[in-house]
Amino acid sequence: MAEALIHRLAEVGSTMDAARTLAEAGALHGTAVSARIQTGGRGRSGRQWLSPAGNLYVTIILRPGGDARHAPELGFVCALALAEAVDGLAGPGTRLKWPNDVLRNGAKLAGILLERLPDGAVLAGIGVNVALQPEGMPYPVTSLRALDSPAEPEDVLTALLARLHAGWAVWQASGFAAVLARWRERGPVLGATLRVRLETGIVTGSFAGLGEDGSLQLETGTGRRTLVAGDVLL
Ligand code: BTN
């Protein structure tokens, strides 16, 4: 990843849309769009991502090249980079929740939304609770401020881009297995009970590891399930 070009916006609907426009115009790998405020921030599964001033909202344009089947791997690369950045700012203890949420003390600190473009580019949208944590969420949330970190959104962005630069190099040189090995160190322990929301409902089972494609292996009462999409519930 070359020296990143960062477009800093005061206010935008969603940095995903601003980044998409740039990517469609040919923006280079590593180009980032951040905003102080988003008026239409979005999360995974069509959920809203509340985006008042104080937190980090950024989308990074990634151009992985190669086979489009590897695109989902980028969520793991980004989550790992983000976890490492948070460790650097708030001290060790950052965990990961499949597929790519970042947790501290069992509460959500950051989320990642991936969107693919027809030309193979991937937009990695990252929201980090820096100064504020949204209220009324159906799961526990936290922020860097609540963890006593004085970091500002710009500090998080700088650390994130540096870690992503390094993590990208690992992914390219050593492959996804190397990324997964590091993800596992921050993921659930084997045998932990997980509840996963699928489009068809909620499935409960014990964590049996990750497949080599990053799929979630869940041991359920009716046998082993391999999940490629869904949300582990907190
Ligand atoms: C999630 O549901 O956990 C993913 C949240 C992703 C939010 C970020 S904020 C920057 C980018 N712009 C958006 O509208 N969404 C992502």
Contact 36, 12 (CB under 8 A): no
d(CA 144, CA 104): 9
Contact 194, 202 (CB under 8 A): no
Q: What pTM did the predictor assign?
A: 0.96
Centre of ligand 1 from the C-alpha of residue 177, in Å: 26
Read off the CATH number of the domain in which 100 is found: 3.30.930.10
Centre of ligand 1 from the C-alpha of residue 153, in Å: 14
Cβ 38 under 6 angstroms from ligand 1: yes
Read off the CATH number of the domain in which 210 is found: 2.30.30
The stretch 117-136 carries a mean pLDDT of 96
- Residue 59, pLDDT > 90, answer yes
177 and 220 inside one domain: no
198 and 154 inside one domain: no
CA distances from 89 to 6, 51, 76, 92, 141 (A): 21, 21, 20, 9, 18
At residue 183 the predicted structure's pLDDT band, cuts being 50, 70 and 90, is: very high
Number of domains in the chain: 2
158 and 103 inside one domain: yes
- Within a domain: residue 1? no
166 and 224 inside one domain: no
Atom of ligand 1 nearest to the CA of 35: 10
- Within a domain: residue 173? yes
Atom of ligand 1 nearest to the CA of 127: 9
Cβ 127 under 6 angstroms from ligand 1: yes
Instruction: Return the closest-CA partner of residue 52 out of 37, 34, 35.
Output: 37
Cβ 55 under 6 angstroms from ligand 1: no
- Within a domain: residue 92? yes
Centre of ligand 1 from the C-alpha of residue 18, in Å: 13
Q: Which two tokens stand for residue 22?
A: 């740039």
- Residue 48, pLDDT > 60, answer yes
- Within a domain: residue 82? yes
Q: Tell me the pLDDT tens digit for each residue of 82-116.
A: 999 999 999 999 999 999 999 999 999 999 999 99
120 and 138 inside one domain: yes
Atom of ligand 1 nearest to the CA of 58: 10
Cβ 64 under 6 angstroms from ligand 1: no
Contact 54, 132 (CB under 8 A): yes
138 and 50 inside one domain: yes
201 and 144 inside one domain: no
Q: Which of residues 146 and 4 earns the better pLDDT score?
A: 146
203 and 180 inside one domain: no
Cβ 60 under 6 angstroms from ligand 1: no
Cβ 112 under 6 angstroms from ligand 1: yes
Percentage of residues in the chain having pLDDT higher than 70: 99
Q: Of all protein residues, whose CA lies closest to atom 10 belonging to ligand 1?
A: 57
Q: Of all protein residues, whose CA lies closest to atom 11 belonging to ligand 1?
A: 125
d(CA 21, CA 15): 10
126 and 210 inside one domain: no
Q: Tell me the pLDDT tens digit for each residue of 72-86.
A: 899 999 999 999 999
Helix (H, G, I), strand (E, B) or coil at 22: helix
At residue 2 the predicted structure's pLDDT band, cuts being 50, 70 and 90, is: low
The stretch 120-136 carries a mean pLDDT of 96
177 and 226 inside one domain: no
Q: Which domain holds residue 79?
A: 6-184
80 and 156 inside one domain: yes
